[in-house]
Amino acid sequence: MKIDKNSISDYNSQYKDTFEQEFRFVSDSLEQKGLNVESVVKKISDFQVAIPSWALGAGGTRFGRFSYGGEPSSLEQKLNDIGVLNALTKSAGAVSLHIPWDIPDDTQAIKEIAESHGIAFDAMNSNTFQDQPGAEETYKFGSLNNTSKNVRDYAIQHNLDVIRIGEELGSKSLTVWLADGANFPGQLNFQNALKYTEDSLKSIYQYLPEDWRMFIEYKPYEPNFYSTTIQDWGTSFMLANACGEKAFTLVDLGHHLPNTNIEQIVATLLLKGKLGGFHFNDSKYGDDDVTVGSIKPYALFLIFNELVYGMENNPQNPSLAWMIDASHNIKDPLEDLLQSIEAILIAYAQALLIDQKDLREAQLQNDVVKCQEILQDAYRTDVRPLVKAARLKANAALNPLDAYRSFEVRKELIKERGNKTIATGL
Ligand SMILES: [Mn+2]
C-alpha cells in the first residue's frame, strides 16, 4: 500500500480553511511576542525520527502476544509500513534495523524500496540478548561481559557482522544495547564484568568505519533483575570515553528508574559532547515502552528544552540520532507510531517557543517564579497549528491519524497481507 501525493492534497483541501484560521491565531500572537514563526516551522519540518523495524508488528509481553491483521512479515513490508508513516507525516524518513531479525536478502532491492519512500538507514541495532537458531555460543550468562572469551568473541563478531550489513545499506552508526547483568547477588564479579565489557566494546570500536559512530545504551534493570553491567548514563559515558571520539551515550527515555531527572542527564551529556542517540517512548513504572507523551508530556517538554538548548549551544556535540523505541501491545502499531510522532513534534515545537534570552535573564536575577512562567507559557501554547504548518509545507497530511483512518490503511494491509501474519521480532 502506498499513499500518493494527490490523495494527501485532496485530503488536506477539506481542512485547509480551518487550519489557516488556527495558524493565523497562533502565529500572530507568537510574532507579537517577537518570535520568528517561520524559523520554528522550518525546524519542525526538518525534524526526522527513525522508526525501528521491530515496532511495526505486535509487541506482546512475557504473558502473551495479541496479533494484528496485516502485520508486515518481511523487511520489504516493514519498509512499506514506514513509507505510509512517512507519506502521512514527512517526519519518519528513516528506519533503524535490527539484526538478525531484519537481514536483507537482496540489499539492492531493499535500498530501492527504502529510497522510493524517502527512507534513510539510521543506526543498526545488534542483538546479543537472545540466542539464534544454530548459535554456537549462548548468551544466557551474558555477551560482551561473559566470563568465557569464546562467548565474548562470538558477540563481538556479531557486532562486526551488523556493521558490515549496515555499510552495505548506507547506515552510519551502530547501537549497542546489552542485556548483560546478573539476576542474583554473587552471580557476577562486577569489576570483571565491566572490564570485559569495556574490552569487548573497544574491540568493536576498532573496526568501526571512519565515518561511523557507536552508541552505547544503558538500562538499570531487565531482563536481569539484580544488576545490569551498563546500568546508567555514567557507566555508558565512561565506556564511550574509553572507546574514543566516535563513541557516544544513547539515552532511552524508558531506561531510567522512576523520577530520574532525564533532562539533567541530557544537559550533562550535551555539554560534554557525548550524547549520540535518543530513544523516545513513555513510561509510568519502568521500561513500559508506551506511546511517547502519553503519560508524562511535561517531562518530555523539559527534556526537549535541554535538547533545543544543547543543539544551539553545544557545537562539540554532533547531531543526534532520533528513534522511537516503543512496543505495541493493544494498539495498531502504525496508529501508535503516528501518535508518538505527533507527541515528539509537539514537545519539540513547545521547546522552540521558550524565550532563551528571557529565561537566562530571569535565571541571572534568580527570579524563580519568572523562570517557571517562561517554561509553562511555552508548554501551555497550543502548537499544533505550527506542526500542521510544517506538514503542509512538506506535503504531508494535516491530520495524519485521521488521514490514516480515512484512507482505511489497516483494512488495505489486511487485504494485501492477510489476517494472520506475524512480524519478526520478539
Ligand atoms: Mn532503546
Q: What is the pLDDT along the chain (426 residues), one digit of tens a residue?
A: 889 989 999 999 999 999 999 999 999 999 999 999 999 999 999 999 999 999 998 888 888 888 889 999 999 999 999 999 999 999 999 999 999 999 999 999 999 999 999 999 999 999 999 999 999 999 999 999 999 999 999 999 999 999 999 999 999 999 999 999 999 999 999 999 999 999 999 999 999 999 999 999 999 999 999 999 999 999 999 999 999 999 999 999 999 999 999 999 999 999 999 999 999 999 999 999 999 999 999 999 999 999 999 999 999 999 999 999 999 989 999 999 999 999 999 999 999 999 999 999 999 999 999 999 999 999 999 999 999 999 999 999 999 999 999 999 999 999 999 988 777 666
Ligand 1 centroid distance, CA of 192 (Å): 25
Ligand 1 centroid distance, CA of 270 (Å): 19
Domain assignment of residue 202, yes or no: yes
Domains in the chain, number: 1
At 226, which amino acid appears? Y
88: cell is 502521512
Ligand 1 centroid distance, CA of 42 (Å): 28
Ligand 1 centroid distance, CA of 400 (Å): 25
* DSSP output for 7-72: HHHHHHHTTHHHHHHHHHHHHHHHHHTT--HHHHHHHHHH---EEEGGGSS---BTTB----TT--
Q: Which CATH number characterizes residue 295's domain?
A: 3.20.20.150
Give the predicted TM-score (pTM) of the model: 0.97
Ligand 1 centroid distance, CA of 40 (Å): 28
Contact 350, 377 (CB under 8 A): no
Domain assignment of residue 239, yes or no: yes
Domain assignment of residue 34, yes or no: no
Domain assignment of residue 27, yes or no: no
- Which tens digits make up the pLDDT trace of 13-67? 999 999 999 999 999 999 999 999 999 999 999 999 999 999 998 888 888 888 8
- Structural domain for 121, as ranges: 47-355+396-417
Domain assignment of residue 365, yes or no: no
Domain assignment of residue 23, yes or no: no
